[in-house]
């Protein structure tokens, strides 16, 4: 599936929607004579037709032509606002792109989801998708808090006294949402949007409500509408993560690409784009996005953590990955995961070799990691792997036992213990550990499948792309 990377095409909209009062003014104000209030949206063909009209060259129409040419040149969308006091309703922010190249047509049967690649790869992709959504900043009005239920009666009284106060209505809907009263929140938001259909924040909050109500199709459409009304970094990010959470990786890539073009300084947009590319199997591109995100804000731990988790356990990391993880460990010596992930990357490059210096470096990093966080089971596990690789079975067994104690849900320490005991000739103990490994592995697979079935998968259809009309005139 290929999505267009061309810049947005802009034109003139004939019926602009009202703009919410809270939205920033993206327009230009000009001195008299007053220019015509227009809105530029994605209709390039209409722009060309409009330009061919035989219109009078008044000062107002010259301003209109200038704006249309500016849009055709690929610059940012513009809204020409009426002068203050003109008594005209404000216009909504412009749509910033063509219609997306996809549409969410439905959800797949949960019993026929399947997966591509090994179970470990599928689990990693879904775990990364969940954690990507957690990067979104919470709506201040919808953030959970201990006093959420206490605010509801007060807000209800305020809304009853001032039914035209849309801000109070929004706050009440947010309080309903965080208090788990999803039907009340939905009713309040639908009434708000009937009065102010151009409020992107209300569409976004309604999307959160619909997701809580287990109506993902309604949720993704509300997220899309919010992004169309206000293509902010947050609205695009939320729309993309909703698609990603429901395994529509290709559609998510398109949304995140557009978000990255509009907000190149957003590291989390790059992280999300990398996760979406990884979900559809574009591993090299995904790694490049995460490296760029880490370079954008080197002190931010998030890109490094996603980059480390994204790597395949079967292949050695590239020099670019090693450089970023080394920087992560150097900038954050207090972070146990920073040292652990750097040690894991070094070990994958040195595994099976007789490089004692590299082995010592890995063990030193792991020792510091478990000192910082004694509950970090994977660090103990890797310690055991390094010792076992060198034939040091006694410290390997100790490390594997520590991994089991720190993280009882991990199955791999038992598998590694079974290998060590078999090499030492203790077949009975090896069989016991292997049985524990199989039980835990089966339990983990069942839990992963349960979680997978709880999230419907979107069925995405490509939109038909119409060819540009031919110009018969030379």
How does pLDDT run across 56-95, given as a tens digit for each residue?
333 333 333 333 333 333 333 323 233 333 333 333 434 4
Mean pLDDT score across all residues of the chain: 78
pLDDT-derived band at 149 (thresholds 50, 70, 90) equals low
Helix, strand and coil in the chain, % to nearest 5: 60, 5, 35
d(CA 460, CA 389): 47
Count, residues in the chain: 474
Q: Is it the case that residue 467 has pLDDT exceeding 60?
A: no
Mean of the pLDDT values across residues 140-165? 72
Give percent of the chain above pLDDT 90.
Answer: 59
Lookup result for tokens 């070990």: 347
Q: Is it the case that residue 188 has pLDDT exceeding 80?
A: yes
| CB of 219 closer than 8 Å to CB of 246 | no
Q: What is the pLDDT of residue 452?
A: 83
How does pLDDT run across 261-279, given as a tens digit for each residue?
999 999 999 999 999 999 9
d(CA 436, CA 416): 11
- The β-bridge partners of 41 are 11
| CB of 204 closer than 8 Å to CB of 238 | yes
Q: Is it the case that residue 473 has pLDDT exceeding 60?
A: no
Q: What is the pLDDT of residue 122?
A: 82
Characterize 55-87 residue by residue with b for buried, 16 or more Cβ atoms within 10 angstroms of its Cβ, and e for exposed.
Answer: eeeeeeeebbeebbeebbeeeebbbbbbeeeee
d(CA 303, CA 328): 10
Highest mean predicted confidence (pLDDT) among 49-58, 94-103, 123-132 = 123-132
Tokens encoding 260: 């990255």
Whole-angstrom CA distances from 398 to 21, 207, 295 are 64, 50, 38
Whole-angstrom CA distances from 185 to 133, 155, 202 are 22, 13, 11
| CB of 290 closer than 8 Å to CB of 270 | yes
- pTM of this prediction exceeds 0.75: no
| CB of 135 closer than 8 Å to CB of 272 | yes
Burial class (CB in 10 A: 0-12, 13-18, 19+), 409: exposed
Mean of the pLDDT values across residues 145-151? 52
- The β-bridge partners of 103 are 461
d(CA 231, CA 4): 18
Instruction: Quickly list H helices, 213-333.
Output: 216-229, 233-245, 249-262, 267-279, 283-296, 301-310, 319-331
Nearest to 312 by CA among 277, 346, 345, 274: 345
Whole-angstrom CA distances from 383 to 337, 370, 402 are 14, 10, 10
Nearest to 452 by CA among 211, 125, 219: 125
């Amino acid at each position: 599936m290929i999505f267009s990377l061309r810049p947005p095409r802009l034109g003139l909209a004939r019926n602009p929607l009202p703009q919410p009062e809270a939205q920033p003014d993206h327009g230009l104000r000009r001195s008299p004579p007053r220019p015509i209030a227009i809105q530029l949206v994605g209709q390039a063909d209409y722009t060309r037709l409009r330009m061919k009209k035989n219109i009078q060259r008044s000062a107002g129409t010259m301003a209109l032509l200038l704006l249309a040419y500016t849009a055709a040149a690929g610059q940012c969308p513009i809204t020409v606002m009426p002068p203050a006091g003109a008594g005209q309703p404000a216009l909504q922010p412009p749509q910033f792109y063509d219609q997306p190249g996809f549409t969410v047509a439905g959800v797949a049967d949960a019993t026929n989801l399947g997966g591509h690649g090994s179970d470990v790869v599928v689990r990693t992709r879904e775990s990364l998708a969940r954690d990507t959504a957690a990067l979104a900043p919470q709506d201040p009005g919808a953030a959970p808090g201990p006093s959420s239920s206490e605010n509801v009666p007060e807000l209800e009284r305020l809304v009853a006294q001032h039914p035209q106060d849309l801000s109070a209505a929004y706050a009440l809907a947010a309080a309903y949402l965080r208090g788990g009263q999803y039907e009340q929140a939905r009713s309040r938001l639908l009434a708000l949007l009937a009065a102010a259909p151009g409020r992107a924040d209300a569409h976004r909050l309604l999307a959160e409500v619909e997701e809580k109500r287990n109506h993902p199709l309604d949720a993704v459409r509300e997220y899309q509408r919010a992004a169309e009304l206000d293509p902010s970094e947050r609205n695009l990010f939320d729309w993309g993560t909703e698609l990603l959470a429901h395994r529509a990786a290709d559609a998510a890539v398109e949304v995140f690409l557009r978000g990255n073009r509009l907000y190149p300084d957003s590291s989390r947009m790059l992280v999300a784009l990398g996760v979406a590319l990884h979900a559809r199997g574009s591993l090299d591109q995904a790694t490049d996005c995460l490296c760029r995100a880490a370079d954008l804000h080197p002190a931010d731990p998030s890109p490094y953590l996603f980059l480390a988790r994204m790597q395949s356990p079967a292949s050695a990391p590239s020099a670019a990955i090693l450089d970023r993880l080394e920087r992560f460990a150097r900038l954050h010596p207090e972070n146990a995961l920073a040292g652990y992930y750097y040690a894991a990357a070094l070990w994958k490059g040195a595994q099976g070799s007789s490089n004692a210096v590299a082995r010592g470096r890995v063990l030193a990093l792991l020792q510091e990691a478990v000192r910082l966080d004694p509950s970090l089971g994977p660090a103990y596990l890797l310690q055991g792997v390094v010792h076992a690789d060198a034939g040091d079975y006694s410290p390997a067994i100790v490390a594997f036992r520590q991994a089991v104690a720190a993280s009882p849900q991990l199955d791999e320490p038992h598998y590694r213990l079974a290998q060590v005991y078999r090499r030492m000739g203790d077949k009975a103990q090896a069989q016991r550990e292997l049985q524990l490994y199989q039980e835990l592995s089966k339990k983990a697979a069942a839990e992963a499948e349960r979680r997978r079935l709880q999230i419907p998968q979107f069925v995405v259809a490509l939109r038909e792309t119409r060819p540009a009309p031919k110009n018969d005139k030379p």
